[in-house]
Structure 1
């Protein structure tokens, strides 16, 4: 018999489902209130406060646990009501909270409450160093990223004392957990705040020179099912097996819970002789919604894990819309022109681009540690030292930025890189908590910025990370101009991207690989031309790939906030970034000169930028936008 207790964790969105999954054998149930959780699109689901109290009593009477999802990202204007909700949850003695926003750590400290914290899958925890960070913060369990392999889960378990929870069955997003902003960019409805419009379920055309003219569901992942691999998951260190489906009914959930309960009972009783029940697997397959995939669990996902035809895709009310593209008539003079000094930061991919920044008033240079195959950028140790010296000769500081995604398999290369190449930089921009944990211990005297990948959206979350030595927050895509007042009132030092391509999704799926023969090995298809997805409105989402073969999907139009700089400076945002690593050096130099001129205007209380705005429209023929980050309503 297994010594470690295993837990079958079931979802519930309604009272009848709660009763049914408990009766079917769930050891614990996770559910959410009417606010502050990730599943709020359908009003008939989730629990009132009175129902939550009854649910806690109901489950505790049956010796079962209740975990409440408080797993959204929060803005400052929501925190007062959230505080009252946390006091309520503490009073009804729930067994744990599943959380995404690190503001919870700061609020627990202030409120002196001690409900156990479980790190939500939405945090994208994908390496041991991040788990170690959570240990320091007092978490008791981590729901690991769905983008991890069996090997990676094992290594994390072996190096950590936290309980390991993992999704065993249910809907699976094609993007890396916590790194899909496409719904927010397209509709202003954030997937990281439970309002995803599921653009990954649309039909697209995969475009290159010899374009495939058929529309297919290139991003529609099949559903996760690791039922045949429960024993392997236990050996890897998973102790809580989670079933997805808080918006599902009893007809869907009861067979699932029943089959997983029986399998886990047999596994607990006799792990040495455990065998998968093939008849049960056949029943699960027969009742499936989409076809099944093991996701990243056994191997890297391929197009075999995608429901390309869309024939099993459930109906969801979503479709592409025509996006706002800036035109010359959109230019408007600012209402007021503040007199302010602002800071200009530029991210570059190579030495040629770096040298072009000289004499243009650039204060900081960012060297990204992500290596994109399309531009060949790679800052080796000698080149990095040369770049640092060149920037300092220009009077500029140099910051290194970690990749947006770092899984446990990525970590050995990154760790070696960090030990040999970071000490020469002036500071580090971190996009995951593992990087902060690792580098802070290695170089405690460095200056740290919280990168956009951390999804920090309020002053309490930033206050918590400031305790770890972080000085500045690079604003994530989740924030727009209407949501930063709390951060500014808390005197947060904010950095805002004002120009460049906008990455809306990171995925391990190689879309360029769809052009190769089924049995053909990777031959660098992604470097043989420009790839993009086209939606049914004819809008192009460009694709790039990094050295780990991850694909990055970009919003159709590049961000341009030139004409909003006076209003942003007046709000108190005075540190601006140009994502210049995608531009050739000639275009980058001209763009930098335009923004430097605009900031010089602000410093002298004037504004003469109509010609520069027109020039930007010419330089970026694919199109520019200021949405959804800025609307004129937000700036008034």
Structure 2
């Protein structure tokens, strides 16, 4: 049986040792750049070499995250970095950027690629797309149920990896623009500021608060699946991933150890599988925001969320019972020791922390007390009877696990067989054999002599040859073949032990393959690919240079489509989602819209859903056939599964901005996939746009409020609709419009679709109308107004403003007129306007 791989996070060298020494089969880590956890300590190149050697000597694989979006001028350095990683024998690269993957495939096809969860793969077609690109494995979206995972596994050959423990993103990973658009720190570039962990107030369309106080409405609990290991293995998962590169080494040690023990217990005795209470307690103690199985059983509603606080809550210790002299009496629900950290949830004053220095049990001062004991503790002055106490750190647990990243536990060391051969007048020979069959030899520099007093024996040899220090080895079996009573200097025994161990170490490290071609061949391939991707229409950039861009408008319903067409849109994108409260635009209606567009010299381009799970694939297939029957000859696609479906159906597609096209090589990959054009990522700035080389026609979003988040969790259903597992939502989304108000008073609009997915829109609207002359000089084929959530009246007015503006640009008429039109558009944005990332870009 091929066992599932347990992969642990390593945000620092100490965390790496914690993972390796507590049973990880693999670790994942990042360098000092190009990784989605820029806030972790991460690894320099020298540290990375040492990390790979440390892990490989212990038979642990190393995967390196190079999983941010990359600008064109970063790609050369990133490819060089990939070569360094492959040369140093890393076992795979976790990537998000399609351009980097495209380059790697062309230059270093030997280097295994793993599709990051940032690629938002939620269906089998998306996994198949990556498999065709040469990916070895894909990390599935964390929103999938066991049923989804099993359905994907049954259809694809690519390895599937899933997160099993740790922090959850509220939004589908790779689809969150919240930190980016609001604060300029892009999650897709590794610098997420985590606005999801802040407090918000749910309000109605008039801004009235629907709840008493702000809460952490976007802050999820932590994923926990210790008890779900058998089901995940049965679903076809090949790798279990623990989240936590920002966590301290103690966290990595405790969680890795727990999952190692539970996985091994399942394989050793699947019929009697269980998780021990101590394992559950230790994992909860080291860090938790409350636990959730995530979406494994379907949508958990409110039980996904940690509304009260976004940080560690520890273990419940008990309630304050009464004052006792200078302390408070507490009946313990968990063990307590000196040095433990506590937090008292006082009635007035929030959560107050302390370290336990004194524990009194009866009349005695004690070092520790078990669960069930009643003790007296010194607590903050604001403490009152009835207040709850949580243990946020366990001194004994921390002391125990810290040993594991300074000293390798005996049970984790590899047993070696050592053979000793000696006869008088010849050097003593030592042979060491590891469990994989590697053999290393060494011999003394002088011959063995006849012993007068203290001959060598098995006990002496075992003592000196077994001194393996803090290496990953232990003496497992000793075979001694001595002819007569012999002696050699003990210093020689120690020397040949060290020599043989070093030879074995080098042999074991050399056994891990280099994943790249020779450097000369690498440089040759790189030189051949230095030229930019071939441009569309024979032009260097693939973009129109002689005329202004054409106008596209994205809408959410047929009424919006008609409004856009009437106001002069030359292309209208009709959303693939069915918004709550709107009907499904069926075949006849679609056919009529397509014909209306043609009559006006325009094109209606229907979209596939931005997100779908494998359990929804039949409906997506039917929808695609309906679009074709209605006469659609171009389809908008926003995920890799959509690209793969269009390829299978032989249909033309236009890539939407959720594909995160960020550089010329990603555009080349999408061109090779058969797309006819691409809407660029809204995180690309002007300088990138100016230098971008494309084999495809391009489109730039110039107006509208973008969805900052798309989530499988609906805040409205959870807070207003009573949504719980097994309890149907009362659909408050059909009764009005809502928003989330932040601490600054800004209200972010909410929308939902018929799959109960939740969309949080930016309060500010992008408005680049007065910069259309500048944008036109960049040579785009299309500019786009994003109005998916807007009513028909708004769409008609804004489309008309941009139609007029583009006509002015075509006639070469003045900036003053554009500025006036821009002011008109601003009046329609009550939350204010933004230039997006056109000028500032993202960090």
Give me the TM-score of the superposition, normalised by structure 1: 0.91
Whether 2:467 is the aligned partner of 1:467: answer no
Equivalent residue pairs, number: 602
Q: CA separation in 1, counterparts of 2:565 and 2:162?
A: 50
Aligned-partner SS, 1:582: coil
Which residue in the other structure is 1:501 paired with?
A: 705
- The structural deviation recorded for 1:359 is 5.9
- The structural deviation recorded for 1:127 is 0.3
Q: CA separation in 2, counterparts of 1:518 and 1:624?
A: 35
- The structural deviation recorded for 1:282 is 2.6
Which residue in the other structure is 1:60 paired with?
A: 56
Summarize the Cα distance change of 1:265–1:347 in structure 2 as closer, same or farther, 3 Å threshold.
Answer: same
CA contact (8 A) 1:398 1:426 kept: no
Summarize the Cα distance change of 1:104–1:114 in structure 2 as closer, same or farther, 3 Å threshold.
Answer: farther
Whether 2:589 is the aligned partner of 1:383: answer yes
- The structural deviation recorded for 1:592 is 1.4
CA contact (8 A) 1:339 1:603 kept: no
Alignment equivalent of 1:571, drawn from 766, 778, 802: 778
Q: How big is each residue's C-alpha offset from its partner over 1:526-563, in whole Å with a ceiling of 9 and x where there is no partner?
A: 12111100001000001000000111001111221111
Whether 2:812 is the aligned partner of 1:605: answer yes
Aligned-partner SS, 2:173: strand
RMSD, matched Cα: 2.0
Q: CA separation in 1, counterparts of 2:135 and 2:823?
A: 51
Aligned-partner SS, 2:93: strand
Q: CA separation in 1, counterparts of 2:586 and 2:736?
A: 26
Alignment equivalent of 2:606, drawn from 395, 400, 409: 400
Q: Which moved more, 1:390-399 or 1:580-589?
A: 580-589
CA contact (8 A) 1:404 1:432 kept: yes
Which residue in the other structure is 1:511 paired with?
A: 715
Which residue in the other structure is 1:546 paired with?
A: 753
Which residue in the other structure is 1:593 paired with?
A: 800
Which residue in the other structure is 2:578 paired with?
A: 371
Q: CA separation in 2, counterparts of 1:477 and 1:357?
A: 22
Q: CA separation in 1, counterparts of 2:633 and 2:796?
A: 23
- The structural deviation recorded for 1:339 is 7.2
Which residue in the other structure is 2:200 paired with?
A: 204
Q: Which moved more, 1:612-621 or 1:411-420?
A: 612-621
In the TM superposition, 1:128-147 aligns within 5 A as: 128-147=124-143
Which residue in the other structure is 1:106 paired with?
A: 102
Q: CA separation in 1, counterparts of 2:69 and 2:14?
A: 28
Aligned-partner SS, 1:265: helix
Which residue in the other structure is 1:229 paired with?
A: 228
Aligned-partner SS, 2:85: helix
Which residue in the other structure is 1:326 paired with?
A: none
Q: How big is each residue's C-alpha offset from its partner over 1:99-149, in whole Å with a ceiling of 9 and x where there is no partner?
A: 111123321243244111111111111001111111111111111111100
Q: After the TM superposition, list the runs of 4 or more consecutive aligned residues in structure 1 that deviate by more than 6 angstroms.
A: none
Q: CA separation in 2, counterparts of 1:437 and 1:114?
A: 24
Which residue in the other structure is 1:164 paired with?
A: 160
Q: CA separation in 2, counterparts of 1:298 and 1:87?
A: 41
CA contact (8 A) 1:144 1:166 kept: yes
- The structural deviation recorded for 1:518 is 6.8
Aligned-partner SS, 1:434: helix
In the TM superposition, 1:340-359 aligns within 5 A as: 340-358=547-565
Q: CA separation in 2, counterparts of 1:357 and 1:34?
A: 47
Q: How big is each residue's C-alpha offset from its partner over 1:6-60, in whole Å with a ceiling of 9 and x where there is no partner?
A: 2111111222221222111111111111111111124xx1111112122222222
Alignment equivalent of 1:531, drawn from 709, 718, 738: 738
- The structural deviation recorded for 1:249 is 1.9
- The structural deviation recorded for 1:392 is 0.6
Give me the TM-score of the superposition, normalised by structure 2: 0.69
Whether 2:44 is the aligned partner of 1:48: answer yes
Q: How big is each residue's C-alpha offset from its partner over 1:439-474, in whole Å with a ceiling of 9 and x where there is no partner?
A: 2210x2x43211111111111111012111112110
Alignment equivalent of 1:476, drawn from 655, 678, 681: 681
Alignment equivalent of 1:421, drawn from 598, 605, 627: 627
CA contact (8 A) 1:349 1:378 kept: no
CA contact (8 A) 2:39 2:246 kept: no
Q: CA separation in 1, counterparts of 2:566 and 2:154?
A: 52
Which residue in the other structure is 1:321 paired with?
A: none
- The structural deviation recorded for 1:97 is 0.8
Q: CA separation in 1, counterparts of 2:264 and 2:111?
A: 29
- The structural deviation recorded for 1:362 is 2.4
Q: How big is each residue's C-alpha offset from its partner over 1:380-431, in whole Å with a ceiling of 9 and x where there is no partner?
A: 1111111111111111122122222111122221111112323511311111
Q: CA separation in 1, counterparts of 2:558 and 2:152?
A: 37
Whether 2:637 is the aligned partner of 1:430: answer yes
Which residue in the other structure is 1:559 paired with?
A: 766
Larger Rg: 2
CA contact (8 A) 1:301 1:508 kept: no
Q: CA separation in 2, counterparts of 1:280 and 1:502?
A: 44
Whether 2:88 is the aligned partner of 1:92: answer yes
Whether 2:398 is the aligned partner of 1:194: answer no
Aligned-partner SS, 1:410: helix
Instruction: Structure 2 unaligned segments of length 5 or more: list them.
Output: 314-544
Q: CA separation in 2, counterparts of 1:584 and 1:19?
A: 56
Summarize the Cα distance change of 1:101–1:311 in structure 2 as closer, same or farther, 3 Å threshold.
Answer: closer
Aligned-partner SS, 1:495: strand
Whether 2:180 is the aligned partner of 1:184: answer yes
Aligned-partner SS, 2:775: helix
Q: CA separation in 1, counterparts of 2:11 and 2:722?
A: 44
Q: CA separation in 1, counterparts of 2:612 and 2:137?
A: 20
Which residue in the other structure is 2:438 paired with?
A: none
Q: CA separation in 2, counterparts of 1:17 and 1:622?
A: 44
**Higher RCO (CA-CA < 8 Å; seq separation 6+):** 1
- The structural deviation recorded for 1:231 is 0.7
CA contact (8 A) 1:339 1:602 kept: no
CA contact (8 A) 2:770 2:821 kept: no
Q: CA separation in 1, counterparts of 2:566 and 2:627?
A: 27
Q: CA separation in 2, counterparts of 1:241 and 1:508?
A: 22
CA contact (8 A) 2:706 2:765 kept: yes
Aligned-partner SS, 2:271: coil
Alignment equivalent of 1:441, drawn from 648, 657, 677: 648
CA contact (8 A) 2:172 2:712 kept: yes
Q: CA separation in 1, counterparts of 2:62 and 2:710?
A: 33
CA contact (8 A) 2:608 2:624 kept: no
Which residue in the other structure is 2:658 paired with?
A: 453
Whether 2:234 is the aligned partner of 1:28: answer no
In the TM superposition, 1:327-338 aligns within 5 A as: none
